Amino acid sequence: MALSEPRLERAFRGHRGPVSAVTFSPDEQQVISGSQDGCVFVWHFKPQLRPFRFVGHKGEIHDVSTSHSGNIIASACADQTVRLWTNSAQGESKVMKVHTAPVRSVSFSKDDSLLMTTSDDKTIKLWSTSSQKFHASLVGHTHWVYSATFSAKSEFIASGGEDRTVRVWDLERKAVIVSFPDFEVPVSKVRFRPDGSCVAACGSDGCVKLWDLRTRKLQQHYDAHAGPVTGLDFHASGDHLISSAEDETLKIWDLREGRLMHKVQAHKKGPISCAFSSSGRCVASGGRDNIVLAWDCDSGKALAAPETAAPRTGVRPQEHAQIPPPARQASVRRVKPAAPQPATQNTVQMKVAAPPAPAVDVDPLPKDSVPGYAVQMPVPLVETIKTMQNHLEIMARTVQLLDQRLAMNEKQVTEMRTELLRQVQASQPNHSPPQVTSQELKIQHALQQPTEEEQQLNQELQQLRRLL
């Protein structure tokens, strides 16, 4: 299969608002879209089948995702809910109140057992797909979380948002392994490369960045668009990337050569979502013109030759890669769109110190690594930091348990005090004004004051909180 210039095949009309999310069914026979009109559509490629229209949300839909079995469709909405729809004409759904703020993205794990959601409440949450019960919460972002995605084996999660960082999480440890603060604007989309060796992200500055998770360095930087980048997705091979932007274009990038491969004027009012099919043969895009477009990228030609092949036609000698001095960013390739060319494959200027490492099926993130640090750290320092981290986690759990125990004790003591005061008042004669003796006043005052042990426990808890 070859990746040719996208050719428009179908246009689906039915939404009454901008199409904010698109995805394909696993069998590539359907396109699922979500819109700011609050509706989810399932479009069929067979003309004789009418589309499914799912209604129930009370706000703008920000993202849609389909399970790997194709039976369930999840939609994330500004009404703070996620709905799980049955992929059928009936469209039954289950409502999940998952966050305290608008839900920005939703995604299924590889085995469909977990559902991941992100929200403006600054959290990433994991849920059981079958029971819709809460599984875990990932806390670390300091602002709205716009996007998150599972790695191919669901071992890791990549996320990005308003705090301008891209974070990679270990799903087993529920902790950040590495954070990339390279963006100067909010991060709108984050995607894993299919082999898990790379993370791509885009922002409102028109840039697309890729990080190599084995070296933990910025590998490629594309000045991709003239407007905010709204959508991003990897090809199944991992060698190509598609991006959509407010400049009304879809662009497909050749990551092996670091160049713009195809550019398409997609929507009249600009595409705000895009996605490859699972095989990479098709592309779907949704725009502010309320239309979903399906593109064919399979021409039957051979893929681009490897890096060691002879110079390719259509690339002038002065446009080949230039080697920057060693003192500069040796691991970063800066790619800018070239001026319009009559040829089908546009060329671009770039700087590169060396060709990227070939894609291999490796574990890109060692699980014994320390968050925020490079792999080359001395082993004793790594062990010391790990020990300190474990101690802090134990102290945090201890404070939480003490808080719970103190709350229970305070509730019991309050109930006892209330009962004793009630008995003291009941012992007074009803026909005469209550006569409170000095001894009873002392008892009431003592009951209303916290004990010495309670005061000491509160002081110790405050000291622990300051240490943490």
Closest CA to 292 of 34, 29, 71, 88: 34
**Distance between CA 401 and CA 294 in Å, rounded?**
54
C-alpha 229/C-alpha 409 separation (Å) is 54
Length of the chain: 468
Neighbours of 210 (CB within 10 A): 22
Helix residue spans in 41-81 (DSSP H) = none
Which pLDDT value is given to residue 358?
39
Distance separating alpha carbons of residues 166 and 190, to the nearest angstrom? 8
Identify the helix (H) or strand (E) that includes residue 137: strand 134-139
In this prediction, residue 373 carries a pLDDT of: 37
Whole-number Å distance between alpha carbons of 431 and 93: 65
- Cβ-contact 335, 221 below 8 angstroms: yes
Sign of CA dihedral 442, 444, 450, 452: positive
Do 132 and 105 touch, CB atoms closer than 8 A?
no
User: Computed from CA positions of residues 399, 402, 408, 412, in that sequence, does the dihedral angle turn out positive or negative?
Assistant: negative
Question: CA-CA distance, 164 to 181, in Å (whole number)?
Answer: 6
295 close to 9: Cβ distance less than 8 angstroms: yes
Q: What does the pLDDT read at residue 363?
A: 42
Q: How many whole angstroms separate alpha carbon 77 and alpha carbon 59?
A: 6
Per-residue pLDDT of the chain (468 residues; tens, 9 = 90+): 568 889 999 999 999 999 999 999 999 999 999 999 999 999 999 888 999 999 999 999 999 999 999 999 999 999 999 999 999 998 899 999 989 999 999 999 999 999 999 999 999 999 999 999 999 999 999 999 999 999 999 999 999 999 999 999 999 999 999 999 999 999 999 999 999 999 999 999 999 999 999 999 999 999 999 999 999 999 999 999 999 999 999 999 999 999 999 999 878 888 999 999 999 999 999 999 999 999 998 754 433 333 333 333 333 333 333 323 333 343 455 665 555 444 443 333 333 333 343 333 334 444 444 333 334 567 677 778 878 877 777 777 777 777 677 777 777 777 787 788 777 777 766 555 555 566 666 666 666 666 676 677 777 777 766 665
CA atoms within 13 Å, Cβ hemisphere of 218: 20
Cα separation of 105 and 127, whole Å?
13
pLDDT of residue 316: 30
Residue 467, pLDDT score? 63
